[in-house]
């Protein structure tokens, strides 16, 4: 029988024997085969400014190369600039999608990043469609069920985990390593086995852009459509999940968290529906001061909750809004945790926050 290559139209200009990135001890070497380029440099998101690049040097055989000190253990993204054009590393299979961009991954192993790795016992990730009458479209969401879900008869608590602006239902899985983080925490006995639901938070959109999808006909800027997504989350997505999964249909078994725009969805959903979630974890978002903020928070206080956990980096532009939320919770006598980290509005923080607060849920 023929053992043929699926890859029939193999593209040229790609050096297949190159290793990139190569981590050796405390250094990382990046390489690119680009014999006809006049200038090649490296951009990585560990660099202090987004305009920083590291020049690469052309060596024999047209291979451009640079060796740098490895950044601290984490997952980073990088790409090359070839004569001014951003290009991926053709020999690095590891890619994350951030919105409309595909970025190469640099995984620096270490204590902080060890739960971002694959582990022995893994849950299932499913992409499922549900009908949204409120938004007038059917929509896709991603669902993580923990290892052993299929063979147990147990019911599980549910974390609703929301992405930020520019993201979609794949963001927490791709950039956020949510499945790996939960797999690791559950396997280590540090987190309760739980279902994690990652919906698409762009109410005009059916799913992460793909061929033939339609947008909703609703005008999302119209006043009557304010909070359309949050309403759909509570009135449509939660019932859909509790019908289709062995989910515990109780406030005490529901958590909500989101980053940036998804953190806004988290604060809005818990203010609008104070009887729905016992665990509330807004990340990198904060809140706006308003004349109804105290009344809004009192609604949550009155309904009761088990955890109000806020994560934000001190260099994040959302830090001032986070301080507003922190102070408002304090002046309303509401127990909460403000978990501050270094760094800003970035996935390295959001992975860290998930890895931290997931250990506190449903306990």
Tokens (6 digits) for 59: 């060596």
Per-residue interface string for the shown chain with a second copy, residues 268-297, x marking contact by CB under 8 A:
x---------------xxxxx---------
Nearer to a second copy, 37 or 159 (CB): 37
The neighbouring-strand residues paired with 180 are none
Indicate the residue among 126 and 275 with the shorter CB distance to a second copy: 126
User: Taking Cα atoms as reference points, which of 149, 152, 100, 155 lies closest to residue 125?
Assistant: 149
If binding is defined by CB under 8 A, does position 9 make contact with a second copy? yes
Nearest distance from C-beta of residue 339 to a second copy, angstroms:
18
- Using the rule CB under 8 A, is 321 a contact of a second copy? yes
Which residue's CB is nearer to a second copy, number 252 or number 336? 336
CA distance 239 to 284: 28
Which segment (112-120, 227-235, 296-304, 333-341) binds a second copy by CB under 8 A?
112-120
Site for a second copy in 224-253 (CB under 8 A): 244
Least distance from C-beta 269 to a second copy, angstroms? 12
Give the separation between CA 186 and CA 120, rounded to whole angstroms: 11
DSSP, res 12: S
- 181 is a contact residue toward a second copy (CB under 8 A): no
Phi-psi category of residue 7: left, alpha or beta, with phi > 0 → left and psi -120 to 50 → alpha: beta
* Rounded distance between C-alpha atoms, residue 129 and residue 158, angstroms: 18
Interface of this chain with a second copy, residues 65 to 94, rule: CB under 8 A: 77, 79-88, 90-91, 93-94
Angle 127-132-136 from CA coordinates, rounded to 5°: 125
Q: Single out the residue of 150, 153, 189, 291 in contact with a second copy (rule: CB under 8 A).
A: 150
Stretch that binds a second copy, among 18-26, 143-151, 221-229, 247-255 (CB under 8 A): 143-151
Among 24, 38, 189, 223, binds a second copy (CB under 8 A): 38
How far apart, in Å, are the Cα atoms of 142 and each of 1, 99, 129, 248? Answer: 39, 16, 9, 18
The angle formed by the CA atoms of residues 310, 231 and 279, to the nearest 5 degrees, is 30
Angle between helices 347-357 and 178-187 in degrees, nearest 10: 30
Please identify, among the stretches 28-36, 223-231, 272-280, 297-305, the one whose residues bind a second copy according to the rule CB under 8 A. 28-36
List the interface residues with a second copy, window 295-314 (CB under 8 A): none
- The stretch among 20-28, 99-107, 329-337, 353-361 that binds a second copy (CB under 8 A) is 99-107
Stretch that binds a second copy, among 18-26, 32-40, 229-237, 298-306 (CB under 8 A): 32-40
Contact in structure between 283 and 193 (CB atoms under 8 Å): no
């Amino acid at each position: 029988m023929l053992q043929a290559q699926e890859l029939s139209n193999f593209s040229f200009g790609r050096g297949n024997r190159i290793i990139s990135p190569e981590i050796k001890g405390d250094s990382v070497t990046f390489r690119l085969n680009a014999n006809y380029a006049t200038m090649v440099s490296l951009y990585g998101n560990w660099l202090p400014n987004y305009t920083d690049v590291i020049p690469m040097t052309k060596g024999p055989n047209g291979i451009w190369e640079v060796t740098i000190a490895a950044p601290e253990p984490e997952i980073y993204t990088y790409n090359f600039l070839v004569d001014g054009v951003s290009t991926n590393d053709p020999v690095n299979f590891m890619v994350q999608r951030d919105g409309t961009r595909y970025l190469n991954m640099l995984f620096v192993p270490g204590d902080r990043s060890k739960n971002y790795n694959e582990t022995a016992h893994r849950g299932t990730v499913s992409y499922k469609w549900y009908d949204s009458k409120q938004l007038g479209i059917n929509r896709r969401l991603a669902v993580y069920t923990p290892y052993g879900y299929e063979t147990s008869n147990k019911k599980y608590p549910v974390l609703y985990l929301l992405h930020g602006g520019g993201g979609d239902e794949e963001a927490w899985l791709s950039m956020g390593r949510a499945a790996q983080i939960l797999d690791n925490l559950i396997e280590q006995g540090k987190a309760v086995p739980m279902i994690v639901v990652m919906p698409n938070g762009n109410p005009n959109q059916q799913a992460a852009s793909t061929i033939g999808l339609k947008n909703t006909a609703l005008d999302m800027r119209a006043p009557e459509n304010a909070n359309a997504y949050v309403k759909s989350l509570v009135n449509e997505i939660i019932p859909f999940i509790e019908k289709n999964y062995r989910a515990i249909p109780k406030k005490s078994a529901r958590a909500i968290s989101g980053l940036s725009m998804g953190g806004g969805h988290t604060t809005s959903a818990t203010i609008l529906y104070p009887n729905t979630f016992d665990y509330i974890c807004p990340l990198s978002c904060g809140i706006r001061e308003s004349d109804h903020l105290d009344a809004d928070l009192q609604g949550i206080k009155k309904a009761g909750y088990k955890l109000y956990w806020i994560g934000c980096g001190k260099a994040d532009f959302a830090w001032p809004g986070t301080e507003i939320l922190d102070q408002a919770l304090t002046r309303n006598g509401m127990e909460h945790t403000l978990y501050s980290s270094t760094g800003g509005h970035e996935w390295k923080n959001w992975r860290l926050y998930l890895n931290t607060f997931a250990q506190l849920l449903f306990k």
